Structure 1
Amino acid sequence: MILEIKYRPALKIDLKFLLGLRIQTMNPHLIASSLPVSDEAHLQRVEYQFEHATIIEINKRDIGLLKVHRQANNIELIQIQVAPSYQGNGIGRRILNDLIKEAIESEKSITLSVLKTNQAKNLYLSVGFKIVGETDDSYLMLFENYCP
């Protein structure tokens, strides 16, 4: 079954959904990394660069968050979160492949940061990202567009 993924700008009325989504998707990784899991910490991250946030929809249902900052030479993937009940269906991979296609067509690179405890790192590696740095808690990753 091919699901049609749609996006709409995130609004302040989406904060309750986004807070719940972040708690569901990030608490295990944050706890494993000994990072804060308070509602305040989650809300701070949800509101970070909120102007770049879009809600991922399938069948008119809100199922995730995509936060991307498009810059002159780079696309920064700030956050991607898919509700657990929709994970494992290739949605994240499709979103990443669409972002990679955009980067190739616009001759840009893509950067992101992923917690070392988050298995999403394996998805990023499988679609062509490379680890280019790290902090105590995270890997810095790059998809570099090699254009002639």
Structure 2
Amino acid sequence: MAFHLRAATEQDLPFARALTHEAMNRYYVQNQLIWSNAGFDTAWAGRENWLICRDDHTLGFISLSRDGGALYIRELHLLQAYRGQGAGTWVLEQIALKAQAQALGLLRLTVFKTNPARRLYQRMGFSIVGEEDGFWRMERVCRVR
């Protein structure tokens, strides 16, 4: 019953798009933003995407990008039925290890201010380093190996 990551393929795009829209729609409405399937698809194509799995079940996905000093979590979503079971904590630790292995000193993300996931990020060592409109910018220092 261990969690694992599987590289996402183009066939996983509809799942990821639908899950993101379902998870984020209320935050988009609260912040008067407009969801765009085409925008999501374009972003997906330019990112490193992984499915979060346990046994043969897909629990969610994570989408990453990077620059010279940081690994960015662009999307992290779990199906409702699998939230609160440790997968989010596990995947954040895996991604921190990935940042370290790639000699990137920071792990960064942006979260809606009203999203309760912020508490998970803070428990996992992320600090609020800025804000913009309805978002918190957060980062975690990763010791480079």
Establish whether residue 75 from structure 1 lines up as the match of residue 77 from structure 2: no
Contact 1:65-1:80 within 8 A present in 2 as well? yes
Please state how far the C-alpha of 1:107 moved relative to its aligned partner.
5.4
Structure 2: 5+ residue runs without aligned partners?
Answer: none
2:108 alignment partner AA: T
Query: Alignment RMSD, CA only?
Result: 2.1
- Corresponding residue of 1:45: 40
Question: Identity over the aligned pairs, expressed in percent?
Answer: 24
Letter in 1 for 2:124: V
Identify which of 135, 138, 143 aligns with 2:140.
Answer: 143
TM-score (norm. length: structure 1): 0.83
Q: Offset of 1:19 from its aligned partner?
A: 2.1
Aligned residues: 142
CA drift of 1:33 comes to: 2.1
Corresponding residue to 1:55 among 51, 58, 62: 51
- 8 Å CA contact retained: 2:68, 2:104: no
Q: Please, which of 17, 21, 24 is the counterpart of residue 23 of structure 1?
A: 21
In the alignment, is the contact (CA less than 8 A) between 1:112 and 1:141 conserved in 2? yes
How many angstroms apart in 1 are the aligned matches of 2:48 and 2:82? 22
Per the normalisation by structure 2, the TM-score is 0.84
Deviations 1:92-120 (A, max 9, x none): 01111222234345452111111112111
CA contact (8 A) 1:63 1:83 kept: yes
* Residue 32 (structure 2) pairs with residue 34 (structure 1): yes
Identify the residue that residue 66 of structure 1 maps to in structure 2.
62
AA of the residue aligned to 1:68: L
Q: 1:71 offset after TM fit, Å?
A: 3.9
- Paired residue for 1:4? 2
